[in-house]
Amino acid sequence: VIAHLDLDAFYASVELRRRPELVGRPVIVSGSGPRAVVTTATYEARAFGVHSAMPTTRARRLCPDAVLVPPDFDAYRRASSDVWSIVCEHIELVEQAGLDEGYLDLGELVAPKAAMRRLLADIRERTGLSASVGIGPNKLVAKVASDLEKPAGLVLLSREEACERFADASPGLVPGIGPRTTERLAALGLPTLRALREADPALLRAHFGENTGPHLQARAAFHGATELTLDRELKSQSSERTFDYDLADAQRQREILSGLARDLFERLERRGLRGRNVAIKVRLDDWTTVTRARTLERPCAAADELARLAVELLDAYAPARPVRLLGVRVGTFVADAQAPAPEAQLSLGL
DNA sequence: TCTGGGGTCCTATTGCCA
DNA sequence: TCTGTGGCAATAGGACCC
């Protein structure tokens, strides 16, 4: 038995907790630049059609009376850590899957629903935050169930019930099947989960590959992982920036990319991480996105070196149009005996 | 009127090597 | 010496998630 716990409108709720005068008003957590997007919106703002990832300019038009609050990720991290400490007092096996959601292995618990009710009450009492829980036989069913009666929902579902209940729903209901895949499935005459479940496996393999084809069909039947992933290792780290206005000047591009590289190196340093793969990302004004990468013999060991490599990659590509985004990424981390990655300690603490 | 930043994972392609 | 095949690693693009 697995539960998925999801905090309701998490970032917005943290903001409301310290600004109670805003309770009941539509609140949008978002940056303020011309190209900002919505991070989270309260349910009052969602009633106007506002949702995460929507351009903030559009959200303002939909809901002119909304209060805009800039994101404060340090505060969200602190609140998140409070919540997950409480969860860990109740349940032994916990997989945190982001600041605001995670999976709980309820094992052979006799009364899972009652246990989750107690947990939700405890979280609400001690943090003032509301969460929703879904309970099912695997992570997929649990996650879909947690979404059903948000906010403050508590839903238990078997795999068979999920199949029945969502037979006519769009494949996009399933996490992992996004807009692009939903569209391609519809074009193949598979507009529902039932159709996807009953489709010819060969057809799916032909269109989505040997792995993804069968995977899609399994998801449609609500088969999912029954084991939690307790110790995830970071695979890459990156830093990127979208400009308020497109940038055509090559020298300015180099300067900004160097700055991003130095920032990134500092963050890696703090975690004791060194990587062999260095990549840049360039998004042009027409939204074409290009990445260029290089793998080194030895891990990159200095901020200057990372900055130099990034600029070399940029010069080799030499963007032919104005640029709206620049980014740097480092991956393929190597084990470093002198500076063990703090992830190990983090998961022990959890 | 446009579309963030931080990530993970999958696939196709290409070059190298046995 | 030429050709085909399969494995592997690196690269690029893209879908998707919070």
What would the pLDDT profile of A290-323 be if each residue is shown by its tens digit?
A: 999 999 988 999 999 999 999 999 999 999 999 9
Q: Which residue is nearest to nucleotide B3 (CA to C1')?
A: A55
pLDDT at residue A35 greater than cutoff 50: yes
Q: Is the CB of A57 less than 7 A from some atom of nucleic acid strand B?
A: yes
**C1' of C11 to CA of A240 (Å):** 20
Q: Is the CB of A332 less than 7 A from some atom of nucleic acid strand B?
A: no
Q: Which residue's entry shows tokens 């709206």? A: A324
pLDDT score at A211: 85
Q: Closest nucleotide to residue A177 (Cα to C1')?
A: C16
Q: Closest nucleotide to residue A242 (Cα to C1')?
A: B4
**C1' of C3 to CA of A281 (Å):** 40
**C1' of B5 to CA of A269 (Å):** 20
Residues 6+ apart with CB under 8 A from A309: A261, A278, A294, A296, A300
pLDDT at residue A335 greater than cutoff 90: no
Amino acid at position A75, single letter: A
- Cβ-based burial of A211 (10 A; exposed 0-12, middle 13-18, buried ≥19): exposed
For CA atoms A230, A234, A176, A76, give the dihedral sign: positive
The protein footprint on chain B, as nucleotides within 7 A of a CB, is 1-12
Q: What is the 3-state secondary structure (H, E, C) of chain A?
A: CEEEEEECCHHHHHHHHHCHHHCCCCEEEECCCCCCEEEEECHHHHCCCCCCCCEHHHHHHHCCCCEEECCCHHHHHHHHHHHHHHHHHHCCCEEECCCCEEEEECCCCCCHHHHHHHHHHHHHHHHCCCEEEEEECCHHHHHHHHHHCCCCCEEECCHHHHHHHCCCCCHHHCCCCCHHHHHHHHHCCCCCHHHHHCCCHHHHHHHHCCCHHHHHHHHHCCCCCCCCCCCCCCCEEEEEEEEEEEECCHHHHHHHHHHHHHHHHHHHHHHCCCEEEEEEEEEECCCCEEEEEEECCCCCCCHHHHHHHHHHHHHHHCCCCCEEEEEEEEEEECCCCCCCCCHHHHHHHC
Q: Is the CB of A40 less than 7 A from some atom of nucleic acid strand B?
A: no
A156, β-bridge pairs: A135
Mean pLDDT of A181-205: 92
Q: Which residues fall inside 7 Å of strand C, measured at CB?
A: A 53, 97-101, 143, 174-182, 277, 279, 289-295, 332
Whole-angstrom distance, CA of residue A178 vs CA of residue A32 = 28
Q: What percent of chain A is predicted at pLDDT more than 90? A: 86
Whole-angstrom distance, CA of residue A196 vs CA of residue A199 = 5
Q: What is the 3-state secondary structure (H, E, C) of A131-157?
A: EEEEEECCHHHHHHHHHHCCCCCEEEC
Residue A350 banded pLDDT, cuts 50, 70, 90: very low
pLDDT at residue A346 greater than cutoff 50: no
**C1' of C5 to CA of A233 (Å):** 36
Q: What percent of chain A is predicted at pLDDT more than 70? A: 96
**C1' of B8 to CA of A235 (Å):** 8
Whole-angstrom distance, CA of residue A342 vs CA of residue A340 = 6
Whole-angstrom distance, CA of residue A89 vs CA of residue A297 = 45
Q: Closest nucleotide to residue A232 (Cα to C1')?
A: B8
Q: Kindly report whether the peptide bond that precedes residue A299 is cis, defined as omega within 30 degrees of 0.
A: no
Interval A134-146: pLDDT, tens: 999 999 999 999 9
Q: Is the CB of A53 less than 7 A from some atom of nucleic acid strand B?
A: yes
Query: Which residues of A are part of the catalytic machinery?
Result: 101
Mean of per-residue pLDDT scores for chain A: 92
pLDDT score at A143: 96
**C1' of C3 to CA of A218 (Å):** 41
Amino acid at position A210, single letter: E
Q: Is the CB of A271 less than 7 A from some atom of nucleic acid strand B?
A: no
Residues found in chain A: 350
Q: Is the CB of A181 less than 7 A from some atom of nucleic acid strand B?
A: no
**C1' of B8 to CA of A205 (Å):** 22
Q: Closest nucleotide to residue A332 (Cα to C1')?
A: C10
pLDDT score at A233: 87
The protein footprint on chain C, as nucleotides within 7 A of a CB, is 9-18
pLDDT score at A231: 84
